[in-house]
Amino acid sequence: MRWATTFRIIAALCSAAVLAPLYAQDNTLAPRQVPAKTLPVPTDVSPEMQKLIAAPLRQDWDAKWKTGEDWRRVADAAAAKSILALPAMRERLHVSVKPDIIDGVRVFIVTPDVIPPEHRDKLLVHVHGGCYVLSPGEAGTSEAILMAGLGHFKVISVDYRMPPEAYFPGALDDAMTVYKAAIKTTAPNDLGVLGTSAGGALVLEMMLRAKAAGLPIPGAISSGTPMSDVTKTGDSFYTNEMVDNVLVSRDGFCDAATKVYANGHDLKDPLLSPVYGDMHGFPPTILTTGTRDLLLSNTVRVHRKLRQSGVEAELEVFEGQSHADYGRDDRIPETREAFGEITAFFDKHLGH
């Protein structure tokens, strides 16, 4: 046995994963008081990224709608605006998008105009983000368009049911339906799965489901800043509160939305908080986050847990970025860099 393996095992035995259930807040330990501060816009990112970083806190970041119907109205209004940017993006990236139905589940087939020979037998399944309630329909396709256009892969984007059409585990059920269909037509080793935020969590939840169901795992996955722990555990929920201008606070809109989706289900269930799941046997995983991300901790915790579980896992952390900033606009250099990394990771691991 190589020493690397030995130490991996020792590390795993000693690790937070094993000890986690024993951990508890020691109330004798003093919290840290941090004074108010002013954060200048960083100078070491692109001018385009500087503009995102300088944007004010997201509007309605503390709105806490309480029903699936409320969220659907909010989601539809936001989607009607956000889809206006998609035609130009598809044109810039030379990607076409076609709605379809796979085994009863709504999807979009996202196809780049040019697919290089080594990608012709590859397929990616995409699950969009939006706190399990936002980005219905075409609005959920933007990351799939970035991936198809910048990575030159064919992508199936799952338009999973959201509240009030379905609650937990509806999103996961729909994603699994598409996954099961995909492994019938594509060799699992040629298949990748990707998503960001709630989509990043869904990617991990899909692997837990696939393992439990005895299904083959895909060749590689990309989990971007996953909502891996919706119990508000994770240090950056505190350190990056009011620093991240997208999620802003652990007590903000995304927490409220997730609770509506969970519909009373235990938030610590690994199918809602996958950081608590058993990650042994997961496929190679690339994780992406930013230094200002409210979910920085919940990304690096998944990275550590994967490594403790013997999984090949790569972590990319981008300077100054808030939650999922790396996927907002194809014209930002850091977006092209992030999807370049994800493409390289899929190229390294798919087909083997």
Could you say which of 131, 178, 286, 300 contacts its own copies (CB under 8 A)? Answer: 300
Residue 43 within binding range of its own copies, rule CB under 8 A? yes
Q: Does 243 bind its own copies (CB under 8 A)?
A: yes
Touching its own copies, residues 253-282 (CB under 8 A): none
Q: From the list 90, 307, 323, 328, which residue makes contact with its own copies (rule: CB under 8 A)?
A: 307
Q: Is 50 in the site for its own copies (CB under 8 A)?
A: yes
Which amino acid is located at 340 in the chain?
G
Q: Does 189 bind its own copies (CB under 8 A)?
A: no
CB of 193 to its own copies, least distance (A): 19
- Applying CB under 8 A, the site for its own copies has a residue count of 85
Q: Which of 149, 234, 270, 283 binds its own copies (CB under 8 A)?
A: 234
Task: Rule CB under 8 A: choose which of 60, 76, 118, 266 binds its own copies.
Answer: 118
Distance CA 272, CA 109 (A): 27
Outline where 219-252 has alpha helix (H): 236-239
Nearer to its own copies, 135 or 249 (CB): 249
Sheet holding 105-112, edge to edge: 95-102, 105-112, 155-158, 123-127, 191-196, 220-224, 285-290, 313-318
Q: Residue 322 Cβ, how far from its own copies at the closest point, in Å?
A: 10
**Quick check: 251 binds its own copies (CB under 8 A)?**
no
For the record, the structure tokens of 276 come out as 């608590």
Beta bridge partners of 109: 98, 156
Helix (H, G, I), strand (E, B) or coil at 127: strand
Q: Which is nearer to its own copies, 128 or 152 (CB)?
A: 152
What are the beta bridge partners of residue 198? Answer: none
Q: What phi and psi values does residue 317 have, to the nearest 5 degrees? A: -120, 120
In degrees and rounded to multiples of 5, residue 222 shows phi and psi of -120, 115
* Binding to its own copies in span 8-37, by CB under 8 A: 8, 10-11, 14-16, 19-20, 23-26, 29-37
Q: Rg of the chain's alpha carbons, rounded to an integer?
A: 19
Shortest separation between residue 200's beta carbon and its own copies, angstroms: 16
Quote the least distance from Cβ 189 to its own copies, whole Å: 17
Q: What residues from 208 to 227 belong to the interface with its own copies (CB under 8 A)?
A: none
Taking the complex as a whole, how short is the minimal distance between the CB of residue 290 and its own copies, in angstroms? 9
| Among 175, 188, 195, CA closest to 106 | 175
CB of 236 to its own copies, least distance (A): 6
Residues 6 or more apart in contact with residue 97 via CB below 8 angstroms: 86, 90, 108, 109, 110, 111, 138, 141, 144, 145
> Whose structure tokens read 């049911």?
161
